[in-house]
Amino acid sequence: MSVFKKERLPPEEQSIERSHSVLVVDDEPGNLSVLRALLGPRYRVLEADGGAAALALLAGLPPEQLPSVILSDQRMPGMSGVELCRQLGQRLPQAIRIIVTGFVDVGAVVEAINSAGIHKFVVKPYDRDQLLLTVERAIETFEMRRRIELQVQELEATVQQRTAELEAANAALRAANAEIERASLTDPLTGLGNRRDASRRLEAGADERRRTDSGRQVVLMLDIDHFKQINDRYGHAGGDALLIAFADLLRRHCRSDDMAVRWGGEEFLMRFGVRDEAHALERAEALRIAIRDARFPLGEERVGQCTSSIGLACLPLDPARPDWLDWQQVIDLADHALYLAKRSGRDRVVGLFATGLSPCPSESASAEALLSAGCIEVRAAPSGAPPPTRES
């Protein structure tokens, strides 16, 4: 009993059959003639009278004419069918290989299957219908493998496309998150950093100074004098125009390592490196004069002038005690110095500096307590000319 079903392919599959080539290899012309007559009605038949001839034939064929099935006799002079299939397995790994033989050795069969990828052994004398069915099943196997290969290729292409889409989505998400983070650190009106940005950068700067002993810095708190009156007189549009121009002026006075942020309302904060306390007062005074002498837009093509009160404190406050006060406490001191500048007439620079006296109150002590204890002192930069008129 045959191990194959002796069924015929349905008519609609005849076109599929004709799209396949079968290479038959046999050194006997009569055997080639029989196989040609058997397979010719269904497949394109390629013939070779030995292993070397088969290799030469295949070497000259274009890819679309390569065989789907190789049907070779085993015993041929020069090269056996198994050896031919072994070599063709490297050149045509997708082709289904069938050996026709009159001798069956189980060990040889196993070795041939493992080394040459033999799909089927057909024993002589063979039944023609059985041989034809064997070739049909081989074609089906070839088609199945080709479909699987195409499906794998399509799946790989889909995976690559999905991976590219995912990478693009991740890149867009990272960009969106970066934009959200940037927006969360930016004042929308002036484009300067905001209070959150200042806190982040001051904390990072404090860590850097602790690691590298990178020198002293000064923190300035700036307030636009009489801003409420300007806002009331020129409206919010005029006030916003002034804030934007004021921020631009601060930005122009920043060096690469300096910082300027909008602290809130008409208050701004700056931080920059200084050599010493005198240098801190000198730079702050130069900034105050630049603000006083500038002309700012006030909306509707109006231009005016304004002044600014500035309070400052150095970080560290006392170089001999670099860990005495942190950056948040130094900001509180600069804010208190700003209060003193406004109380003493505005349009001036006031700084709070360490006196070097010890012991001092606890680290949580207020500016008033530190002043009362003599741990800090007030120094003002020389005031400039009286404030100019508000509009010109």
Name residue 151's amino acid. Q
Q: Are residues 317 and 224 in the same domain?
A: yes
Which residues are registered as beta bridge partners of 377?
353
Domain end point (choices 150, 183, 209)? 150
Asked if residue 189 belongs to a domain, the reply is no
**CB count, 10 Å around CB of 248?**
16
Q: Are residues 345 and 207 in the same domain?
A: yes
Q: Are residues 97 and 220 in the same domain?
A: no
- Tell me the pLDDT tens digit for each residue of 22-53: 999 999 999 999 999 999 999 999 999 999 99
Q: Are residues 241 and 146 in the same domain?
A: no
* CATH code of 32's domain: 3.40.50.2300
Whether residue 1 has pLDDT greater than 70: no
What the block records as the tokens of 96 is 């289904």
Asked if residue 163 belongs to a domain, the reply is no
**Cβ 73 vs Cβ 102: under 8 Å:** no
Mean pLDDT, all residues of the chain:
87
Total tally of structural domains belonging to the chain: 2
Q: Are residues 93 and 239 in the same domain?
A: no
**Cβ 226 vs Cβ 298: under 8 Å:** no
Which residues are registered as beta bridge partners of 22?
45, 69
Asked if residue 160 belongs to a domain, the reply is no
Asked if residue 57 belongs to a domain, the reply is yes
Residues in the chain: 392
Asked if residue 14 belongs to a domain, the reply is no
Q: What pLDDT shows up at residue 322?
A: 86
* CATH code of 349's domain: 3.30.70.270
Q: Are residues 137 and 211 in the same domain?
A: no
Asked if residue 176 belongs to a domain, the reply is no
Whether residue 6 has pLDDT greater than 50: no
pTM, 2 dp: 0.62
pLDDT band at 392 (very low <50, low <70, confident <90, very high): very low
- Tell me the pLDDT tens digit for each residue of 307-331: 999 999 999 999 888 888 889 999 9
Instruction: Tell me the backbone φ, ψ of residue 98, rounded to 5 degrees.
Output: -125, 135
Give the whole-angstrom CA distance, residue 243 versus residue 158. 54
Strands 118-123 and 217-224, sheet pairing? unpaired
3-class DSSP state of 306: coil
Give the whole-angstrom CA distance, residue 44 versus residue 51. 19
pLDDT band at 153 (very low <50, low <70, confident <90, very high): very high
What the block records as the tokens of 125 is 């004398």
Q: Are residues 134 and 208 in the same domain?
A: no
Residues 6+ apart with CB under 8 A from 259: 193, 198, 201, 269, 270, 271, 272
DSSP state of 101: E
Q: Are residues 225 and 306 in the same domain?
A: yes
Domain end point (choices 95, 124, 150)? 150
Q: Are residues 234 and 374 in the same domain?
A: yes
Asked if residue 173 belongs to a domain, the reply is no
> Angle at which helices 327-343 and 195-212 pack, to 10 degrees?
120
Q: Are residues 199 and 331 in the same domain?
A: yes
Structural domain span for residue 283: 195-380
**CB count, 10 Å around CB of 329?**
19
Closest CA to 337 of 374, 376, 306: 376
Whether residue 5 has pLDDT greater than 90: no
Give the whole-angstrom CA distance, residue 38 versus residue 56. 24
Interior angle at CA 248, CA 246 and CA 252, nearest 5: 120
Give the whole-angstrom CA distance, residue 116 versus residue 124. 20
Q: What pLDDT shows up at residue 3?
A: 35
Residues 6+ apart with CB under 8 A from 58: 23, 66, 67, 88, 91, 92
Q: Are residues 146 and 199 in the same domain?
A: no
Q: Are residues 218 and 360 in the same domain?
A: yes
Asked if residue 2 belongs to a domain, the reply is no
- Tell me the pLDDT tens digit for each residue of 95-140: 999 989 887 665 666 666 666 678 888 888 889 999 999 999 999 9
